Chain A
Amino acid sequence: MVSLMASIENPFSLEKPLKLSICYTETCNLSCQHCYADCSPEKSSAELNGEQWARFLDEIAELGVIYLYIEGGEPFHRPDFLPFLASASDRFFTEIRTNGTLITRDVAAKLKEIGVGIVLVDILSPHADVHDYFTGTPGSHARACEAVAYLVEAGIETQLLTILNRKNVDSLQEYIDMAHRLGVKTAGILRPYPLGRFKYRWNEFSLSLDEMHAALDALRLPAGLKLMQSWHPNDGNSCWQMAAVNAFGDSIGCAYLREYVDYGNIKNVSFMETWEHPLYRELRSGRVKETCPSCSSSQGSHGGCRSTAYAFHGAWDAPDPFDRTLNHGVDLRVLPEWLLQPHPKPPGSPR
């Protein structure tokens, strides 16, 4: 049952960030059709350099940030990534999201020595041809699977990630079985976000909410394997605890808000100045129009993901249509037209 209330807020609103995501680079050795960051092989001169990232680590350590999630682009594609990671892993619990193709046995051993917390490897399908179709790179599936084997062998907590879509929905059980075979303890199935290149391929890749739930409900988990998924009843409004900075230094709250918000650039202002941006404060408060009691209870937050709520409704306090109790007939296979712009703004909002 959905409760309708005038104003619902998250129970917590942090005074200072606890966890922070960074997109270390927007370069990548692959050319994924679904890339949220629209990466390229060449590094833009506007990306933060190693020194700027190092200063930023000092700043957020001083603020009390304790968990650092690092993604890209492909972090390992930047030659200065390992020294950065070594410096970060002394002070933060580090999680790295990677396509895995640059992780050799030696790199895995180095990661173990550095003390990385968790490595998450994106594998789009149990079938090499489908994965390689997405990445545009023959052999990328085999290399990603090898990377997982090296990481597990090195004794690093390793997780698999996949983005649920039309090309892999029919082989989801095989994906779970592959994760188990590779020796990981957690497999993540992520919702698709209409960002970057993915939104321009939405018609080809997207599924209805019923199709997504049918696929998830049919899964049989092998003993010892944990499934991570964010659909009902696990749809959290994580904005209360999120902080994120992209490769250019823009403070964006969450990597999934990358096209919708800009709270200021850490090259010019302190991170805390961006943290106090009015919209950022508003999103952290978690004020929403509707909440799902089951998801609120399991996630300790209200209204579900703000990125997909905003994408489909153009309003920050709207219900998240990926939650089936809050969907109200929204067809997730159809994107609002305004989203198909580089920096999308819903109709009627100030430019």
Chain B
Amino acid sequence: MSSPNGCYSHTPNLRVRPVEEMKSCVVFRPKPPKMFMLNLNAWLIFQLCDGNSPDHVAQRYRKSVANQMSEREADRHLEIGIKNLQDQGLIKLKQQIDQRRTE
């Protein structure tokens, strides 16, 4: 999968409530207001996308699901999962400023 610069972070002011009993995590996004119920896979990706670079997220995700799917499948699942979380406004990719261009 492509590896853009920067790192993923959670959107500010989210409230996160893990609900272990239901094997899910409920997230409240206040602006605009919406509530999301993340399944185990989305929850894992959401946790990984908290200050980590795309490469680091991909490595850790592949490792977490290694006994369930191939690396290729893992990359595909991750790509979809990240897109969903971005569309839901729960994570964003903060681009790093390229020092060589700004000098």
Nearest chain-B residue to A92 (Cβ)?
B28
Task: Tell me whether A14 and B33 are in contact in the complex, defined as CB-CB below 8 angstroms, given that A66-B26, A66-B28, A92-B28 are known contacts.
Answer: no
Cβ contacts under 8 Å, A18 to chain B: 17, 19, 26
* Interface presence of B22 (CB below 8 A): yes
* A12 interface residue (CB < 8 Å to B): yes
- Give every chain B residue within 8 A of A13 (Cβ-Cβ): 21
Closest partner residue, chain B, to A15 (CB atom): B21
Q: How far apart sit A92 and B14, CA to CA, in the bound complex (Å)?
A: 10
Which residues does chain A contribute within 8 Å of B80, judged by CB atoms? Answer: none
Contact B33 A115 (CB under 8 A): yes
Interface size classification for chain A: 10 to 19
Q: Mark A89-112, 1 if CB is under 8 A from B, else 0.
A: 111111000000000000000000
Residues of A contacting B101 in the complex (Cβ-Cβ under 8 angstroms): none
How many A-B contacts if CB must be within 8 Å?
A: 43
A12 to B19 alpha-carbon distance, docked (Å): 10
Does B72 lie at the interface of the complex (its beta carbon under 8 Å from any beta carbon of A)?
Answer: no
* Contact assessment for B33 and A116 in the assembled complex, using a CB-CB cutoff below 8 Å: yes
Give the bracket for the number of chain B residues in contact with chain A. Answer: 10 to 19
- Using Cβ atoms and an 8 Å threshold, which residues of chain A touch B35? 66-67, 93, 117
Q: Is A336 positioned at the interface, with any CB of B under 8 Å from its CB?
A: no
Closest CB in chain B relative to A314 CB, distance in Å:
30
The answer to the question of B4 belonging to the interface, with a C-beta cut-off of 8 Å to chain A, is no
Instruction: Report the minimal beta-carbon distance from B29 to chain A, rounded to whole angstroms.
Output: 9
Which residues from A are CB-within-8-Å of B100?
A: none
| Docked-complex contact A14 and B30, CB < 8 angstroms | no
A90 to B30, CA, bound (A): 6
Question: Nearest chain A CB to B20's CB is how many angstroms away?
Answer: 8
A69-95: CB near B (< 8 Å → 1, else 0) gives: 000000000000000000001111110
Interface residues as binary, B66-83 with A (CB distance below 8 Å gives 1, 0 otherwise): 000000000000000000
- A12, A93, A94: the one within 8 Å of B21 (CB): A12
Are the CB atoms of A14 and B21 closer together than 8 Å? yes
Residues of B with C-beta under 8 A to A138: none
Give complex CA distance A15, B20 in Å. Answer: 9
Residues of B bordering A, CB below 8 Å: 13, 15, 17, 19-22, 26, 28, 30-35
User: Which 8 residue pairs across A and B have the least CB separation, nearest first?
Assistant: A93-B35, A117-B33, A64-B17, A66-B17, A66-B28, A115-B33, A12-B21, A93-B28
Q: Would you mind naming 5 contact pairs between A and B with Cβ atoms under 8 Å apart? A: A18-B17, A18-B19, A89-B30, A92-B15, A93-B34
A residues apposed to B, CB below 8 Å: 12-15, 18, 61, 64-67, 89-94, 115-117
